[in-house]
Structure 1
Amino acid sequence: MNIAVIGTGYVGLVTGVSLSEIGHQVICIDVDQDKVEKMQQGISPIYEPGLSELMTKNIHEQRLSFTTVHREGLQRADVIYIAVGTPENKDGSADLSYIAQAAKDIAKNVGGNVIVVTKSTVPVGTNDLIKEIIQTHLKQGLQVEVVSNPEFLKEGSAIHDSFHGDRIVIGAESEHAFRVIEQINEPFGIPIFKTDIKSAEMIKYASNAFLATKISFINEISNICELLGANIENVSTGMGLDQRIGSQFLKAGIGYGGSCFPKDTKALIQIAGNVEYEFELLKGVVNVNKKQQGILIGKLNNCLPDISGKKIAVLGLAFKPNTDDMRESASILVTEELIKQGADVIAYDPIAMNNAKSILNPLIRYADSIDQAIEGSDAVLILTDWDEIKNVDLAVFSKMAKPLVIDGRNCFTLEAMENNGVEYHSIGRPAAAKLIEATSI
C-alpha cells in the first residue's frame, strides 16, 4: 500500500521505517531540507537502537524514501499518517498548530480519496478538527476518512515495540476505515483493538497518565522508606509479585522525563479542566515528579553543605538510557542548580552530550569518559542508568579524594559500594556509609 507520513520526528520516523519493513511503500515528508538529505543517506536524526539499520535496508530495497515536497509525497498516497509535534502551550494544553497545517497540506495535495491516520498524541476531539479542516480545503469530489491510531512506543526500544507491542488501537467511524488500517498493520502480528475515535484519543492519554502515576507513587513510597529505614527495592519486588499491580514502572528514581509523560499528564489535566473537572490525582503526580527530580541536590547538600568551587561529576544526561533525548531530563534541573550553587560541573553521557551542549548551562564542562569525569571529583551524581555506568569497575571511585556517590537510579548494590569504601546515597535505601558505621560497632 502507498503510505505517506507527515513529520519525521521520533514517532513519524519510527512509524515510517516500521511500515516499510513490513512491505509497504512509504514516503516520509519533512520541511527540514538538511534533515531530509541526511535521512535519504540512511542517517537517522535521532538515536534509537536498530533504527538506522532498518532505514538503510528499506531505502536500499526502495520501499522507503524522503522528501520536502508535500505534493510529491501525498499525490499518490492511499493512506496518510500525521506524526507532527504537539508541543506544550504555557497553560499545559497541546499546541495543535502543526496538526492544522498538516491537515491543510493534505487537503491541497492529495490526488484521490484517502484515509488520514493520526499518530500524533492529540486531545480528545482533535480528529474531528482534522477532518473539518481537510474537508474545508479539499478539492470537490474527493472524500477523506480520519482514523485515530495512537502510538505506544518507548524511547530506547521503539523498534522492538513496533514489532512486539501489546496492542494496536484503531479508532474509526466506518467499517471500511477499520478494515484498511487493520490490513496495513496485520503483518505486525499484534492484537488490534477497535473502538470509536474519541475513546482511541483518550486511551493514549490515560495510558501515559497511569504509568506516570505508578512512577510518582513508587517514588513517594521510596521517600517514606528512607525515613523508616526500609529498602524500596524489596518493597517494589514484593508489590510487583501481585499480578493486580505488576512489576513494571515500580523502579524508584528521580522521576520521569522525555517527550511523553510530562507533556501528556499536563495536557490531560488541561483536557479535564476544559470540561470543568479537577483531576486532583494527576496534579499530584506532576507535583511529585517535579519535586523528585531535585531530590539529589538535597542529598548532596546534606553531605557537602557548601559546594562552591567543588568539582561535581554528573554521569548520565539523557532522560533515560538508550536515547539521546534531553526533553524534560532531570539533568536540566540538577545541573542548573549545581551551577547556581557555584559548583564546577563536569558531565558525561555515552550518547546525549551533543544535544546536552545546546540545552544545558554553558559553564558545564564535558568529559570523554566516566574515568575522566570522576577523577578528582568531590562528588559524583548519577542521573541516567546507562549500562556503561551500571557496569563500571567500582575501583574507579578510588580516583576521588573521598569517594562520595549520590545515585538517582540505584545502579549499584549497597554491599558492593560498601566493600569498595564508597559513601553511597541512593533512592529509598539506607546509605552505604551507615552500613559501614554499623559493621564497625
Structure 2
Amino acid sequence: MLVSRRSRVASLAACATILLATSACGDDKAKETSAQQVRLYGTDGNMLNTYPAELKERAGLVDGMKGTTPLVPLPEDFKSRLRAVSPALTDYVYSAETYDAVVIAVLAAQLAGSTDPAAIAKQIVAVTNDGQRCEDPVSCLTLARNGQDIEYRGVSLTRAGFTDKGEPATASYATLTFDGQQINDGKTEFVGAGIESAASTKTPPKPKKQRPGGDPEQEPLILGGLLPKTGDLSIAYPPMAAGAALAIKEINAAGGALGKPVTWLDGDDGTNPEVAKATVARHATAGVSVIIGAGGSGISRVVLPDVVQAGKILFSPSNTDSSLTDVDDQGLYFRTAPPDSLQGRALADVILRDGSQKIVIVARKDSYGEGLQGTVRDELEKAGIAADRLKLLTYEPPADAKAAPVDFSRGAKEIKDFGADAVLIIGFGESAQVIRGLADAEVQIRQ
C-alpha cells in the first residue's frame, strides 16, 4: 500500500509520541522500582504488641519491623498464671524479670531475717549463687526459713546468677518480628549471651533461721512499685505489673516472708523524673524496704540518689543501660534485666544478617537511648561497617503526657538524603512518631 510523504511523517510523529510516552512511563517505573527501601528495627522499648496502636490508622507501617528484647522462652504454665492475674495481657516482655526481682528480694529478706534494706542488700546476690538450687517460691522459702543457702533459678534467671555488681551474668534475647500488626511468635528466635563464670563467688553473711511461728514483733516486709503506669513506657507496664502481682500472690500463698504476708504498695514512675521522685518519697515514708523499678534506665539514674539517701533498695526488672553497672549505688541497686552491652551485640547481628549497608540509629535522648545507640554503633563498626555508612540521630522525648508529640520531620529528611537501607529506632511508645515521620517524608518502608 502506497502512503503519501505527509502521511508517513504524521505516522512517524505519532509513533515517536507513543514511544516517548512509553519510555517515560518505563523510566517512572524504573525509578519507582529502584527507590531505596528501608528496613525498620526496634528494641525492648517498642517491640511490643501494644506498640502499633501508637500509630493509630497507620499501624500497618510496623509490619516487617524486627528487633530484640531480653526474653527467655517462657513456659506456657507461667504465661497461664500471668493471665490468671491479668486476663487482658497480650505481652510478656519483662514479666519474668519483674517476677524474679520480687521473688529474689523476698528471699533475700528471709535469709537476712530482717526488713532492713542494708541487711537485705547483702543477701540479694547470694540468693542467686552457690547454694541449694530451687526454682519456685514454695521450695525456696522453705529452704530459706531453715537458714539454708539457696541458688534461685526462676523464670528469667536460668543459666547463671548475679555478678558482684548485682546484675545477671548471662542473658537470653529474643528476635521479634511484627507481622499483621502484632508480634509473630512463629518467627521468634532466641539467642544466649554472657559468661556464666562472671557470676559472683563472694561469701554472704550467714543466713538466719526463722524460729517456729516467726517473731511476733517482726514488721511485715513491704515492697513498693516504681513501674511505668503512665508516660512513654506505659506500653510495657501490663506485663511488668502482672509479673509483680503474680509473685506477691505466690509468695503469700507459700506463707509470706518472716512469718507474715508480704505487702505490695503500688507506685508509678510516670516515665518522668518528677513523678518518679514523688513516688520514691511516698515509699520511703511508708516504710518500703525494696522498690521494684524504675521502668526506664534514665528514671532509675535520676531517682537513685534519693533512694540511697533514704537507705532503700532499688531493684529494676527492665533497666538495661550499661553505664548503670558502675553507678555509685552504695550497694543498693540491682537489676534482673541484662545490660545493653549484651543486647547491642544481638541487635547488630540481626541488622547485619539482613545485609544492611547504610544504617541509621535513631535514639531517644536519655541514658537508655544514647547508651544503647553507642553500643550498637560500636558492634556494627567491629563487624566491618565503615563509620561513614553509619548515622546517629537523637530526638527529645516529650516531657510529659501534655507535651506535643515528637516532631521527626527533619530527622526523616536526613535519613532519606543519607540513602539508608536500615533504621534502628531506640525508644518507647513515643518513638512511633519516628516511623510516622519517615512515612510522611515518603521514605519507602520495607515490609
Higher relative contact order (Cα pairs below 8 Å, separated by 6+ residues)? 2
State the TM-score, normalizing by the size of structure 2. Answer: 0.28
Which structure has the larger Rg?
A: 2
State the TM-score, normalizing by the size of structure 1. Answer: 0.28
